[in-house]
């Protein structure tokens, strides 16, 4: 193969690695030559997974606030369709949202579609600054 045929051939490059190691930022920085600017974070946990819920306060909120103090955060409980209500009840998600000063709390199911539109509606509202100064959590 000549050098010119190699350069014209489409390539598929797949970036793999653990979560939160910077894969997405690496790709954005490479393709746009800049670090990504985020207007809103959608912070997710699984409603059927207590560890993922506990990681919100112990891992994710401190990390996001350390690097992006002024960027609003939407807290989203996923897998609403299979959640055991005794595992992580809605009130627990609302309480965490309020305690951490997050913009909104929404529960959804990607499988059934329930709550998906609300997640992105609230994300847009938060991104354009349509939240109260003292964040009030609402559930959709």
Domains and CATH numbers, the chain: 38-127 (3.40.50.300)
Contact 105, 94 (CB under 8 A): yes
pLDDT of residue 5 exceeding 80, the answer is no
* pLDDT: which is higher, 26 or 73: 73
User: What pLDDT score was predicted for residue 7?
Assistant: 65
Among candidates 42, 41, 15, which has minimal Cα distance to 30? 15
Three-state DSSP class for 78? strand
pLDDT digits (tens, 9 = 90+) for 99-122: 999 999 999 999 999 999 999 999
Confidence of residue 138 (pLDDT cuts 50, 70, 90): very low
Q: d(Cα 81, Cα 112) in Å, to the nearest integer?
A: 7
* Sheet of 104-107, strands arranged across: 41-46, 73-78, 104-107
User: What pLDDT score was predicted for residue 27?
Assistant: 83
Among candidates 108, 117, 129, which has minimal Cα distance to 39? 129
């Amino acid at each position: 193969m000549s050098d010119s045929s190699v350069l014209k051939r489409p390539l598929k490059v797949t970036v793999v690695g653990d979560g939160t190691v910077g894969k997405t930022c690496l790709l954005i920085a490479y393709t746009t030559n800049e670090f990504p600017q985020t207007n809103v974070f959608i912070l997710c946990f699984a409603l059927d997974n207590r560890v993922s819920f506990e990681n919100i306060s112990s891992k994710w909120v401190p990390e996001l606030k350390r690097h992006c103090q002024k960027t609003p955060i939407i807290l989203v409980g996923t897998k609403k369709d299979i959640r055991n209500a005794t595992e992580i009840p809605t009130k627990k998600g609302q309480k965490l949202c309020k305690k951490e000063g997050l913009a909104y709390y929404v529960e959804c199911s990607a499988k059934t579609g329930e709550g998906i539109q609300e997640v992105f509606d609230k994300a847009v509202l938060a991104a354009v600054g349509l939240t109260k100064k003292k964040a009030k959590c609402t559930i959709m």
